[in-house]
Structure 1
Amino acid sequence: MPLRSKTLFYSLGYLILSLLLFSREPDVLLHAQFWGEDGWFWFPDAYHYGISSLYLPHTGYLQTDDRIVAFSSLLLPLRDIPTLFAVMAFFFQWLPCAFLLSPRCKNLFPSTIFRFFIATLVCLIPNSWEVYVNLTNSQWHLAFLALLIVCSAPPRSIADKLFDISFLILSGLSGPFCLFLLPVAFLRTAIERSSTNITRFCIVMSTAIIQCTTILLTGERTHMLPNLGASPSKFTQILGGPLFLSPVIGRDHIKQLELLHSWQTGWLPWGITLVGLLLCLYAFQKISALRLPLIFATIVLTAGLTHPAGSSTTAWDAFLVPNTGMRYFYIPLCIWIITLATLTFKGSIPIRFTSGLILFCALSFGFRRDWHYPKENDRGFTERANYFDTALLGTIVTLPIRPGTFVTITK
């Protein structure tokens, strides 16, 4: 394909991915509001502490991407700050999809059409409302991007090198994921020893040391472990439901399955879990491009199941509630759906048939049902923000925060 045609193709592909991502809930960008920690911590900390907020840990570790955006937002009036947050969150979420499509991942998936296909699947992944275009959860998208960078081909230009270094550092200092990525980067370097892989490993290791030090110094007093309420039956319900089945039938429809006798007796979630694990094991053994992503997904899922954020109920019970804790499944979900797509075109005939059937059901039901997210009602943020911008120093203003909460800020 001529260079000009390639450039046009990729530009069109990137545009399509951005439009698909935008279509899931346009109001999140068009009528932006703070989400969770965006309004509880990132903006208030930047507003009150200024540049020193950049190195404040949260829940035991650094979250640099949120802090940088929040500090930069101080140049804007309050009414426009959620829009900046949403635009940056959209960009961070779009980046892994665009990187998947790009030639940088050609060593993993040689077919450009297939890369566009799986990038589209990631854009439209079901059961991902909690991580959709909000700055707080952008660390999950950056972690996925960091995984792709570690697994990708060596950069061919200075711009690509700067991109890799910048986003490995940013991801490494935004959440604890560099600790999970470290063994993957080590294995990548051990498998293919090159200056590129050594550099990537050193970056991941450096950020892991920084985050580990921060966690050891502050984590014990800022992050209490919840009661898990773990059991074998809940384990299979979690893997069989929110992970393996949610992209197939849609997250909210799993509650209907839970009314079935076969689900309540346990054999249905056990069966779904067994099929999912066997397909992943087959992919791990037969498809080299999926080995490191599957290892990373396993580490992330294990960490999420054993060390989730605190909850008013037992953590594993909360995972079974729709739209609760779904961020812990986002990266495993992406790897699972990429695994299904890959196995549909590779492997033995029974594996292709099984994976293809599951993927067909996912595209027919799960992706269609979860394409659009529920619209957040306007709770008067713009009016309150305009009041804050014109108020006198010392004025106390209460701002609405998605989903369904408030924050009080003193000017």
Structure 2
Amino acid sequence: MKDPKALSQMEDVQNLRGTSAISSHFILANQLTVALIVSAISVFILYLRLPGLFSNPQFWAEDGTIFFEQQMNIGHSAIFIPYAGYLHLVPRCVSALASLFSAAIAPTLYLAAAMLMAAWAALTLSLTRASLAPVFALTLFVAPHSGEVFGTITNVQWILSTVIPVIVLTESPKGYLSQLNQRAYILFSGLSGPFSALACPLFLYRLFWRRDRHGLWVSLLGMSAGAVQLYMILKDHASSSETRAPLYVAIALLDRWFGMLAHGWRSDSHITIALTVAFGALVAVAALEGRDRRLAIGMLLFCGAIMGATWVKYMPGSMANHFDLPVHGDRYLFAAKTYAIWILILGVTSLRPSMKVLSAAALVVIPFNYSSHGHDWWRRPPLEDKNWKEHARLVDEGIPTLIPINPAPWNVAIPGSMRQQ
């Protein structure tokens, strides 16, 4: 017979394991509940920044001229066609699904998909193990911005990419479903923009920093997506022989990054230049002094890669003035401004009182820049009604048509052939 004392000890161990499992499930369920609430609030903030768009959905730029038009004219094989030198998996999937329905509701479906992707980004961010993950998710859509990345599948890549460094540079989530979600997120976001190629150093770092199974999946999926996108980019690349102004473009990008947060416009005076330099220096110091130093530095490096790629694209002489006006190309600065806000939030958690005060003061200043020089950096202006539904009737009937969309003079050309399925 077995020793009664030993049997009692075994029962105690089993009871402890059962209690531990129940406690673990309870914690995971609680985290998911918090994440769902946070992501819902985050998407509601985004909704507030898009007045009029939901009552009258409209195509924006490549939504119509590339994704809708190529889906209608080419069919599902369009998913393999690169645009701007790389693949766009998420927008192509959305356009393929939307093609199953009437063209009249296509803008509505595209808008719904863009909001769903924004919600996915906020939820995935909130479920990471970053120390302030819920706060990051709540502030994902609060940076002063022209709004061009909001409510459109064309620019959803800029939102999705923002979460990549947070996934890579934080510990693996404990729940298996959360791990699967992160892997899917890395794959879809990685094949929907050039950012997986830019993040390859971070993926490589994760491979050696945390050699767990999930970390291996994240690194391999990210680097695989990055390799595909890098191949597409190099294949599409054409060198320019124009006069270059690299320093000018670099300074303009840095000004757009920190100047918009510091004073709300381009730095064209000694005072605004000083404010921009001070704000940038404060963000750099906060990255070193605040909580989650690895994550903060990683976000700055990822921003540097985005700025570097943008610099390479726009430094030819004829394009060097593209960033002179803050309303131009603001999508390139979305992640950079968002990371600056997150790093300042981390700076508030610093052990140094002076860093806490300076970071908090900088965060208080930012909302005052939502309106500057007669421009609203909080609400995206409503899009002009192009009478899409009337034109869409011709698309459904297979009649050749040229449909105007936002912004003018963009349009969608449908030759009138049968809808491709």
**Residue 278 (structure 2) aligns with:** 275
1 CA distance for matches of 2:285 and 2:326?
30
Change (3 A) 1:247 1:30: farther
Aligned identity (percent) is 22
**Secondary structure at 2:403's aligned position in 1?**
strand
> Which of residues 81, 95, 109 is equivalent to 2:120?
95
1:244 deviation in Å?
1.0
1 CA distance for matches of 2:365 and 2:201?
34
2 CA distance for matches of 1:59 and 1:400?
22
Change (3 A) 1:163 1:309: farther
1:245 deviation in Å?
2.6
1:126 deviation in Å?
1.1
Change (3 A) 1:186 1:355: same
> Which of residues 383, 386, 407 is equivalent to 2:412?
407
**Secondary structure at 1:408's aligned position in 2?**
strand
> Which of residues 32, 46, 50 is equivalent to 2:71?
46
Amino acid corresponding to residue 408 of structure 1 in structure 2: A
**Residue 333 (structure 2) aligns with:** 329
Judging by fraction of residues, say which structure has more helix. Answer: 1
2 CA distance for matches of 1:174 and 1:6?
28
Q: Could you give the per-residue CA deviations for residues 20-46 of structure 1, whole angstroms, max 9, x where no partner exists?
A: 111111432332111111111111111
- TM-score under structure 2 normalisation? 0.82
- TM-score under structure 1 normalisation? 0.84
Is the Cα contact below 8 Å between 2:39 and 2:138 reproduced in 1? no
Q: After alignment, is 18-27 or 151-160 more displaced?
A: 151-160
> Which of residues 357, 363, 366 is equivalent to 1:362?
366
1:324 deviation in Å?
0.9
Is the Cα contact below 8 Å between 1:189 and 1:197 reproduced in 2? yes
**Secondary structure at 2:402's aligned position in 1?**
strand
Change (3 A) 1:309 1:160: farther
> Which of residues 194, 214, 237 is equivalent to 1:220?
237
Is the Cα contact below 8 Å between 1:245 and 1:272 reproduced in 2? yes
1:203 deviation in Å?
1.0
Is the Cα contact below 8 Å between 2:146 and 2:378 reproduced in 1? no
- 2:246 paired with 1:230: yes
> Which of residues 387, 399, 402 is equivalent to 1:398?
402
2 CA distance for matches of 1:309 and 1:375?
32
Unaligned runs of 5+ in 2: 1-22, 417-421
> Which of residues 245, 256, 265 is equivalent to 2:259?
245
Unaligned runs of 5+ in 1: none
**Structure exhibiting the larger radius of gyration computed from Cα positions:** 2
Change (3 A) 1:238 1:5: closer
**Secondary structure at 1:307's aligned position in 2?**
helix
Aligned alpha-carbon RMSD (Å): 2.7
Q: Could you give the per-residue CA deviations for residues 35-87 of structure 1, whole angstroms, max 9, x where no partner exists?
A: 11111111111111112111111122211111111111110111111111111
> Which of residues 312, 315, 324 is equivalent to 1:306?
312
**Residue 165 (structure 1) aligns with:** 183
Is the Cα contact below 8 Å between 2:39 and 2:137 reproduced in 1? no
1:347 deviation in Å?
4.5
1:5 deviation in Å?
6.3
